[in-house]
A and B are shown apart, each in its own frame.
Chain A
Amino acid sequence: RKEVEQDPGPFNVPEGATVAFNCTYSNSASQSFFWYRQDCRKEPKLLMSVYSSGNEDGRFTAQLNRASQYISLLIRDSKLSDSATYLCAVENSGGSNYKLTFGKGTLLTVNP
């Protein structure tokens, strides 16, 4: 099983749609989880940290399910500007709680 695995995508959705991404991780000792957004040929930018209780930031909601070892990102009322690649990242706690392990990313295209 890969350390971090994401929905392969791509996702093509109309404006206003709700879209959800899932990401599974293999290291049960992992403590910190993040969603990054990466535009084409740009650097990853932190979108949200993911907390055990789940967290929301405007149209974005992140959730963590430790029992099933997955994190999710929900985007409501999607905008054209949400088009990007979404990367989940897991910070491993097994003696190296600084190393981010990324999924391959899921490409989202929001269409007018």
Chain B
Amino acid sequence: NAGVMQNPRHLVRRRGQEARLRCSPMKGHSHVYWYRQLPEEGLKFMVYLQKENIIDESGMPKERFSAEFPKEGPSILRIQQVVRGDSAAYFCASSRQAGGADTQYFGPGTRLTVL
């Protein structure tokens, strides 16, 4: 029973390039969440998606960041024109339902390094 899958695990980009991070939720899970963990900081919520819908993107920076969860395929977190401050670990989590005590299970993360 595969858990949450993320790829790539490590991504190096130069300033100004685009970064695409992918997340496949656990089987049977239709709720996806993206979190960012900056060095020496806690995990911060970015966005919550269901299939083909962005439910809450209140934690996303207003510019350069976007997310999608298409009907088919993984969820994508896209960062355009990356800057050094985007260097962080990006974790995706999924759950079967939203809210209540339904557990969010985390993927292994993508470590983005911007040179």
Contact = CB atoms under 8 A, between A and B. Distances in A.
B56 A96 contact: yes
B108 A42 contact: yes
A32 B42 contact: no
B45 A100 contact: yes
Contacts, number: 61
Interface of A: 4, 31-32, 34, 41-46, 49, 87, 91, 96-105
Interface in B67-115: 89, 91, 93, 95, 98-101, 103-109, 111
Contact of B98 (A34, A41, A98, A104): A98
B44 to A, nearest CB: 8
Q: Is the interface of B mostly helix, strand, loop or mixed?
A: strand
B103 A49 contact: yes
Interface of B: 31, 33, 35, 41-45, 48, 55-56, 58-59, 89, 91, 93, 95, 98-101, 103-109, 111
Nearest to B47: A99
A79 B100 CA distance: 32
A21 to B, nearest CB: 14
B43 A98 contact: no
A2 to B, nearest CB: 10
